Amino acid sequence: MSQFKDQVVLITGASRGIGEAIAHQFAAEGAQVIVSSRSQEGVDAVANAINEQGGKAAAITCHNGDRESREQLIARTVEQFGQLDVMINNAAANPYFGNVLDMGFEAIMKTIEVNIEGYFHMSQLAGQQMRKQGSGVILNTSSVNGRTTGYNQSLYSASKAAIISMTESFAKECAPFGIRVNAILPGLTDTKFASALTQNEAMLKMILPQIPLGRVAQPEEIAPAYLFLASEAAKYITGVSLPVDGGYLA
């Protein structure tokens, strides 16, 4: 299939986990995928794998918490490919797992810079290009934690709630330019990012009973939501936050 043929799709946080799965699935649908994260080795590995499978992928590093790095990412994408059709903000930071009263200031700032400032500014930069084109889609990875705070994940949860609000604001203000903006709320997923939970038997015993489907998701099960919201099938959908969580928020 090739529903995204001739479209340029940029994915941050794409060197592993959900971002990597998203990149593979968009490439399988004909998109030109730009794989981005802080790790050159990581993005090269994903892009090379996609190209070896017959897809089209390029690797561009970006530190989502750094203004200049974000600006360079969008500029290089447009310079190299001439357009930007789908922007997927998926990079995230969760440097602290513990009681809210003991969170250090460095961890506070890193979470804010990547999860809030990074998403907002990247959406601005992508949206400015899409406004010139007259169309585009921005998708933000929030979390079920944006709806119900995760234990020992206070600021991470607050940042994911901010992404939901940000998504709704951008959706309203960008709609006149033909830009749709939506968020995806993954539940607990088997990734390195979530290993503090998925590799903790005590936490799993507490969390799994709250998931009606009774198990942790795989990244490949989260990625199709992004393809749907970026597709023509969702052309009248903007401003939504779609949980993909096995029923956790039900």
Does the annotation mark 96 as catalytic? no
Active-site position among 96, 119, 151, 156: 156
Find all residues with CB under 8 Å of 51, minimum gap 6, and list them. Answer: 57
d(CA 84, CA 223): 19
The helix or strand, by DSSP H or E, that contains position 89, with its residue range, turns out to be strand 86-89
Instruction: At 167, give phi and psi (nearest 5°).
Output: -60, -45
Tokens, residue 57: 């992928």
d(CA 31, CA 2): 8
Q: What is the largest CA-CA distance in the chain?
A: 51
d(CA 182, CA 13): 17
Closest to 245 (Cα-Cα) out of 220, 224, 215: 215
Q: What is the CA radius of gyration of the chain?
A: 17
**Which residue stretches of the chain are H helix?**
17-28, 40-52, 67-81, 105-112, 118-133, 154-174, 195-198, 201-207, 219-222, 224-230
In order of 31, 37, 225, the CA distances from 51 in angstroms are 12, 18, 23
Q: Which residue has the tokens 């940000």?
A: 166
Residues catalogued as catalytic: 156
